[in-house]
Structure 1
Amino acid sequence: MAALVVLLGLMVMPSGALAADAGTTGATGERGGQGGGRSAQDVVDAMQPGWNLGNTFDAIGADETAWGNPRVTRELLRNIRAQGFRSIRIPVTWGQHQGPAPDYTIDPATLERVREVVGWALDEGLYVLINMHHDSWQWVSGMPARHDEVLDRYTAAWTQIAGAFRDSSRRLLFESINEPFFDGSSGDAQNAALMHELNAAFHAVVRGSGGRNATRLLVLPTLHTSADQARLDELAATLAELDDPRLVATVHFYGFWPFSVNVAGHTRFDETTRQDLTDVFDRVHETFTARGVPVIIGEYGLLGFDRSTDTVQQGEKLKFFEFLGNYARAKRLTTMLWDNGQHFGRTTFEWSDPSLYRQIRSSWRVASGTASSDQIFVRRGGSPSDATLTLNPNGNRLWSVRHGHRWLVHGRDYTLDGDRLTVFAATLERLTAAREYGTNAVLTLRFSRGVPWEVKVISHDTPVVADAAGTTGGLVIPAAFHGDRLATMEAVYADGSGNAGPHGWTSYKEFGAAFAPDYDAGEITLPAAFFDEVRDGSTVLLTFHFWSGDTVEYTLTRSGTTVTGTAG
């Protein structure tokens, strides 16, 4: 294995060329010659950008609606193409639709439904990637203890999938398995061996099925779809051994974990988070892309999105996606946005966060200017001071600062000194004249390229929390947010014995998991998951940190299952 890794470091993987396809459009043919006469890298380039049809055919349950998404329509796929996406990843959990050994027959209706949706997507001009998804943790993970059974079932599934799509357009790609891992293995060496065995078996089954599968692009993951160098090297060894120019590597990327879920005080897209991203993409590029193996980032996003897209503050979120898109483009990595139904409406065909979509879409082509924040706070009861933001022009020039249709005047309303934009106190006084809590005005910073950067001018006062009583099953704290928003929460024991609550290695708790604000209801909830890791009989000091910079103290006392909270 080690020798193969060294070998890959000295070689350039052949790029190959896909033979021209003839035939009709849809599941059995090509459209516009896509996929014909081009290298694997050219095809993967043409797939940028991509989108995931998440929580649909991968959902655990009777059918594609089991996790709350509607049945897929061709209109949805047409609208995905209209949004600028050029490829779609369709995760499928096959095992729940398989019969018993020895044939492990896939339910024909399920297979035909997947074929129907794949055909629609191809007819809409999309590249399509289908895979084996939650099977990874449902039964494939048991391979160390049930090796032959798992391998037989896996090869039976791919034999049937490959047969069903044998003559489909070459714009259809197969991915061997999603986020694979192995329970009860003896360690890294066995994990690597089993991962190689799965990928090699997948390769042999698909290539052996003939037809267009003989030259179809096949996508192979690392263990866990991790971008750790050891995992990349293991996949590189497999690729070198298979010696097939029509193979693609895949990893997933959800960002620097503390930022991605908002824990340990990592509330900002700072240098640490940026460096984590560049390190990952550099490793993937150097291990694969630079050596002739195309790479698909099969899923990307933020893990905090699983709870709420507000887990990471809007401006910090936009900076993350702006940087990710541009750096992926620089490293020639194709990205596929993970969407479980929370981003693009499956029936409304509208984005839940249009600003996020605009930032992502812009990053596919150009770098957009951003700033140190998208918020300026003005205290409601006092006179404002000048407010300064640090711009990150990303190679662009600031053209204008506007409030609605009105252009602010340089020297009168604001000044620009290098990359420091200062909005004058008198301007802020005028913009917040209504003195209503929350956003009073939005400033639009327009740069020479890319999407504008919007800055909210917010009128606020220090939030106020009230006494509360509840149980370890959950405590609801009444809160008057006064225009401010919660950034993070600290929890420590009053006796100085350490940090309280989950993730005891940090005083800063996980947003949405250990605490969650509800601005409309005027409350902050501490769920059972927080109290599960708070000692009985203890007193806990909470500090709520708000985006304005204000902090509010709160005291919790736990006695058995009873919890009381005191403000101040």
Structure 2
Amino acid sequence: MIAAAVSCKKNNGEVTTSSASQQQTAVEQLSASPLYPGYNTSPQPPDASGMSSTAQQLAAKIRIGWNIGNTLDAIGGETAWGNPKVTNDLVRMVKQAGFNAIRIPCSWNQYSDAKTAKIQDAWLNRVKEVVQYCVSNDMYVILNVHWDGGWLENNCTPEKKDSVNAKQKAFWEQIATSLRGFDEHLLFASANEPNVGDATQMNVLLSYHQTFVDAVRSTGGRNAYRTLVVQGPSTDIDKTVQLMTKLPADRVPNKMMVEVHAYTPYQFALMTKDETWGKQFFYWGMGYHSTTDPDHNATWGEEAEIDRLYKFLKSAFVDKGFPVVLGEFGAIRRTALTGDNLRLHLASRAYHLKYVVKQCKTNGVLPFYWDEGALGNNSFGIFDRRSNTVFDRQALDSLLRGLN
């Protein structure tokens, strides 16, 4: 998933603008929210220093990205899901391995006061520290509000619209104020995978994105010019093209990107056991099907489908001036397999990762690989964060070969 306010509307292939009055109405509605205190307590005059790149120019600078998954987003604390705390050494290793951008999935709700939505200063400072690791290593950073207990993602409904918008405003005023000093290396992302299935829910999600944009811009300083990322419905590519017929209004032009995720096909990327309705895919792509285990060959979602999805995004958004972030993609490594089956699966997986990256780069989409840490079987992990070493060289090399 801009005072001239701009939004994207696909109408006979045209990109149109929404009125400034629509944006003002949204601002007035948010200002009237009685649920939480206002946290935009120290707005600054706009500061364009270090913020000159448009969204399109930033997109051209981002080579390939990596997710610090299951860490700052972990419910229970940064190390609760098995990964160590993020260090500068980890970020430096990721940079040296070939990535120049990091997506930071981040939880905020568990670190906030339920009555006031006040985020703990210690957590704001910790997130700022991790962002600084990335920027100090000349990495681009996308920082989001991740699943975070589902307070936004599971509530894209008219009934929850006002309360969610109030929390979205409170959180982003605090996050944006805390991180206002960073230059254009830092991008903010409104949400993660908002659960949306129809036009009504899409309109609610658009209000959440509008709240995000308005809250960030209101803090001023470099945030007046920061590039912002908004998520499509369920971050599903087809849903995003079909339902996201406009983007939130923004007071500055050419500073917005759209985000989708893709674990395609599901049976190859994520499925971990055979079901009555279908089996897992262990072998994907032309030349990688098994003759000895044909029940687990891919039967859909192969090269032609990957081609279709990324061409779809290019025509719907990229060609209209809105870069697209593939915020998450990947396929699990099925190390329970053995012998020739394991070798064929790993070769197939390597081909899949290379193919997805190649199609992203061909169509102007920015790929960010999902890595939850090298934590055992059925893992995406390519780095061992406990020793800051490469855990899966085959996958890493394949991702990088897709850039060429």
Q: TM-score, normalised by structure 2?
A: 0.77
The answer to whether the aligner puts 1:149 opposite 2:188 as a matched pair is no
Q: 1:193: how far off? A: 1.0
Q: 1:218: how far off? A: 0.1
Q: Is the 8 A contact 1:86 1:125 kept in 2?
A: yes
2:144 is matched with 131
Q: 1:274: how far off? A: 1.2
* Structure ranking higher in strand proportion: 1
Moved more, 352-361 or 79-88: 352-361
The answer to whether the aligner puts 1:280 opposite 2:341 as a matched pair is no
Matches within 5 A, 1:12-51: 36-51=51-66
The answer to whether the aligner puts 1:82 opposite 2:96 as a matched pair is yes
Q: Is the 8 A contact 2:285 2:351 kept in 1?
A: no
Distance change (3 Å), C-alpha of 1:35 and 1:329? farther
SS at match of 2:66: strand
1:341 is matched with 373
How far apart in 2 are the matches of 1:267 and 1:54? 23
SS at match of 2:254: coil
Distance change (3 Å), C-alpha of 1:318 and 1:6? closer
The answer to whether the aligner puts 1:361 opposite 2:393 as a matched pair is no
How far apart in 1 are the matches of 2:263 and 2:251? 29
Distance change (3 Å), C-alpha of 1:143 and 1:254? closer
Distance change (3 Å), C-alpha of 1:212 and 1:236? farther
How far apart in 1 are the matches of 2:235 and 2:217? 23
Aligned residue among 336, 344, 364 for 1:332: 364
How far apart in 2 are the matches of 1:360 and 1:169? 28
Residue identity in the other structure for 1:10: E
SS at match of 2:143: strand
Q: 1:362: how far off? A: 1.6
Unaligned runs of at least 5 residues, structure 1: 14-32, 367-568
Q: Is the 8 A contact 1:8 1:237 kept in 2?
A: no
Aligned residue among 316, 320, 334 for 2:352: 320
Count matched residues.
335
Distance change (3 Å), C-alpha of 1:216 and 1:243? closer
Q: Is the 8 A contact 1:50 1:89 kept in 2?
A: yes
1:69 is matched with 83
The answer to whether the aligner puts 1:213 opposite 2:232 as a matched pair is no
SS at match of 2:57: helix
Instruction: Decide which structure has the larger Cα Rg and report it.
Output: 1
2:72 is matched with 57
Distance change (3 Å), C-alpha of 1:308 and 1:12? farther
Instruction: Provide, for residues 163-202 of structure 1, a one-character-per-residue CA deviation record: whole Å limited to 9, x for no partner.
Output: 11122221100000000116xxxx6122111111111110
Distance change (3 Å), C-alpha of 1:12 and 1:275? farther
Q: 1:223: how far off? A: 1.1
Q: 1:34: how far off? A: 11
Aligned residue among 149, 171, 177 for 2:185: 171
Moved more, 235-244 or 317-326: 235-244
The answer to whether the aligner puts 1:257 opposite 2:266 as a matched pair is yes
How far apart in 1 are the matches of 2:223 and 2:53? 16
Residue identity in the other structure for 1:125: D
2:36 is matched with none
How far apart in 2 are the matches of 1:204 and 1:316? 45
SS at match of 1:334: strand
How far apart in 2 are the matches of 1:4 and 1:46? 23
Matches within 5 A, 1:378-389: none
* Structure ranking higher in helix proportion: 2
SS at match of 1:100: coil
Matches within 5 A, 1:138-537: 138=151, 140-144=153-157, 145-181=159-195, 188-228=198-238, 230-239=239-248, 244-261=253-270, 264=278, 266-270=281-285, 272=300, 273-302=302-331, 304-305=332-333, 313-342=345-374, 343-364=382-403, 366=404
How far apart in 1 are the matches of 2:177 and 2:353? 38
Distance change (3 Å), C-alpha of 1:159 and 1:239? closer
Distance change (3 Å), C-alpha of 1:90 and 1:341? same
Distance change (3 Å), C-alpha of 1:173 and 1:166? same
How far apart in 2 are the matches of 1:169 and 1:91? 20
Q: Is the 8 A contact 2:318 2:364 kept in 1?
A: yes
Q: Is the 8 A contact 1:136 1:180 kept in 2?
A: no
Q: 1:279: how far off? A: 1.4
Q: Report which structure shows greater RCO (CA 8 Å, sep ≥6).
A: 2
Aligned residue among 126, 131, 135 for 1:118: 131
Residue identity in the other structure for 1:60: I
How far apart in 2 are the matches of 1:174 and 1:43? 13
Q: TM-score, normalised by structure 1?
A: 0.55
How far apart in 1 are the matches of 2:251 and 2:311? 24
1:403 is matched with none
How far apart in 2 are the matches of 1:137 and 1:363? 34
How far apart in 2 are the matches of 1:316 and 1:48? 23
How far apart in 2 are the matches of 1:159 and 1:198? 13
How far apart in 2 are the matches of 1:164 and 1:208? 13
